[in-house]
Amino acid sequence: MALQPAAGARDLNPRQVEGNRRIRHQLADLYRLWGYQEVDPPTVERLDTLAAGGGIRSQELVRLVSDDPLGLRPELTASIARAACTRMADRPMPLRLWADGNCFGCTLGEAGRQRIHQQITSGVELLGDPSLNADVELMRLLMAAVGRLGLRPEHRPALLIGHHGVLQALIAQLPERIRTQAQAALTAYDPLALAALDLHDAERRRLRQLLQLRGEPAVVLAELRTLLGQMPLLDDLERMLTLVAPAAGQQSVMLQLDPSFQPHFNLYDGLVLKLVCQGSAVPMAIASGGRYDALVGRFSTPASLRSMAPAGVGFGFDVENLRDLLEISSGGQAPVLVAYQQPAQLAAALTEQDRLHATGQPAELLGQPVSDKGEANAVASLRGCSGVHWLGS
Burial (CB < 10 A; 0-12, 13-18, 19+), residue 27, is buried
What's the pLDDT score for residue 120? 95
Q: Which CATH architecture has domain 155-284?
A: 2-Layer Sandwich (3.30)
Same fold, 1-127+292-332 and 336-391: no
**Alpha-carbon gap, residue 256 to 273, rounded angstroms:** 10
**Alpha-carbon gap, residue 291 to 164, rounded angstroms:** 9
Q: Is the distance from CB of 98 to CB of 38 less than 8 angstroms?
A: yes
DSSP code, position 331: S
What's the pLDDT score for residue 8? 64
Q: Is the distance from CB of 319 to CB of 123 less than 8 angstroms?
A: no
What's the pLDDT score for residue 190? 86
Provide the CATH number for the domain formed by 1-127+292-332 in this structure. 3.30.930.10
pLDDT digits (tens, 9 = 90+) for 125-171: 999 999 999 999 999 999 999 999 999 888 999 999 999 999 999 98
What predicted TM-score, i.e. pTM, was given to this entire model? Answer: 0.86
Residues of the chain short of pLDDT 70, as ranges, are 1-3, 6-8, 109-112, 328-332
What's the pLDDT score for residue 80? 96
The full set of domain ranges for the chain reads 1-127+292-332, 155-284, 336-391
What's the pLDDT score for residue 14? 85
Q: How far is CA 178 from CA 132, 173, 228, 360, in A?
A: 32, 11, 19, 65
CATH ID of 336-391, from 3.30.750.24, 3.40.50.800, 3.40.50.1110, 3.40.50.1000:
3.40.50.800
Give CB contacts under 8 A, 24+ apart, made by 50-58: 50/74, 50/78, 50/79, 52/77, 52/78, 52/265, 52/267, 52/295, 52/298, 53/294, 53/295, 53/298, 54/266, 55/265, 55/266, 55/267, 55/295, 56/265, 56/266, 56/267
